[in-house]
Amino acid sequence: MANSAQARKRARQAEKHRTHNASMRSALRTACKKVLKISAAGNREQAETAYREAVPVVDKMARKGLIHKNTAARRKSRLNAQIKALAR
């Protein structure tokens, strides 16, 4: 356990950051899963709408450092590929 005042404060901050990051990560996963669920159902228009809502969420998480920028690009690319596959 933390012994100094500084270490106790850092422990408090780390816990606060951990819970905040967990909720942000959950929102990211939810946005991505929404697109996948709709595209699996075969509704392209709704999938495109969900994708447009998910892209800013993914970008924000990359900007905040929760995920790497290449990870964000990969997620967006794969989601978009799912939607494009519906056109065939």
* C-beta neighbour count of 50 within 10 angstroms: 22
Which of the residues in the chain have pLDDT under 70?
A: none
pLDDT for 39: 94
pLDDT for residue 85? 92
| pLDDT of amino acid 3 | 87
pLDDT at res. 25? 97
- Name the packing angle between helices 5-41 and 44-64 (round to 10°): 160
Q: Residue 68 contacts by C-beta under 8 Å, 6 or more apart in sequence?
A: 62
Q: Count other Cβ atoms within 10 Å, centred on residue 35.
A: 26
Q: For the chain, state the CA radius of gyration.
A: 18
pLDDT at 87: 78
Residue 78, pLDDT score? 96
- pTM score of the predicted model: 0.84
